[in-house]
Amino acid sequence: MTTLALTPARIVRSEWHKLWTVRSTWIMLTAATVVTIGIGIAIGASYEQDGGESSGIDPVQFLLFGTQFSQIILAVVAVLFIAGEYGTGMVRSTMVAVPRRLPVLWSKAGVVAAVTFTATLATFLVTFTAGQFFLDGTDKELSLTDPGVFGTLLGSAAGLTSLAVIGLGLGALLRSVPGGITAFIGGVTVLPEVLRMFPYDVMDSASKYFPGRAAEGLMTLHDSSDYAATGPALLALTLWTAAILGAAALLLKRRDV
């Protein structure tokens, strides 16, 4: 009987198959896409240039407001992808098939990153194009060919991809779907806003480099004092992602399945 060698490509293919054969993956990715596009179109269609509060919002971030919700949906997909295996016990079979364990984590992270980046970039392009149809002649009128616009959409997709991979890392750390989702919502979306409530400049400055705020800052076409600059924001997201995945890898090697 011929035994197939265990290669990185085969592990990635296995994890890819696991992700796409689960119905919830399709449902939630579709939901994230529909929410982002739907909110973007609704905001664009209802915008009136009257000097109100919305006039001061960055024109790209304005149309991508739906990511406030879709980022949580994408994180749930990532948490389920790894923590769900602990809930069903399937992780035992996975680790028997891949005794070194860490290639499983790296493969899952790679699959989540590839799927999330591709899906979010396509979604943002559609959202921006559809939203701009209603913004013609307003102060938020833009084109994909305008300086910085496409780069901002790329950065936005990279930001949400990092958040999804962070969700995967939290799921691996906690080995619990409810725990991973709660940690993501609390640490990524709630904690930075809590820090901003304190009347200290250092707290406000620190909150800009938390994952959620850093990803939000990547959605701005123009620099703003409310967010970190693009380079530091990308670096912060990279470091957060590496730290959480690194901690998950360490515990994966040390803990029993």
DSSP string, 131-142: HHTT-TTSTT--
Residue 249 covered by a domain? yes
- Nearest one of 112, 121, 122 to 154, comparing CA atoms: 121
pLDDT number for residue 48: 80
pLDDT number for residue 52: 56
Which segments of the chain have a pLDDT < 70? 1-5, 50-55, 256-257
Range of the domain at 209: 10-44+56-254
| Cβ–Cβ under 8 Å, residues 161 and 116 | yes
What are 126-129's contacts with CB under 8 Å, separation 24+? 126/37, 127/36, 127/37, 127/40, 127/41, 127/63, 127/64, 127/66, 128/40, 128/60, 128/63, 128/64, 128/153
**pLDDT by residue (tens digit) across 134-159?**
988 888 889 999 999 999 999 999 99
Residue 91 covered by a domain? yes
Residue 50 covered by a domain? no
> Counting Cβ atoms within 10 Å, is residue 185 exposed (0-12), middle (13-18) or buried (19+)?
middle
pLDDT number for residue 55: 62
Residue 3 covered by a domain? no
What's the number of domains the chain is made of? 1
CA 111 to chain centre: 13
pLDDT number for residue 35: 96
pLDDT number for residue 138: 85
- Is the pTM for the entire model greater than 0.85? yes
Residue 5 covered by a domain? no
Residue 4 covered by a domain? no
pLDDT number for residue 1: 41
pLDDT number for residue 253: 85
pLDDT number for residue 196: 83
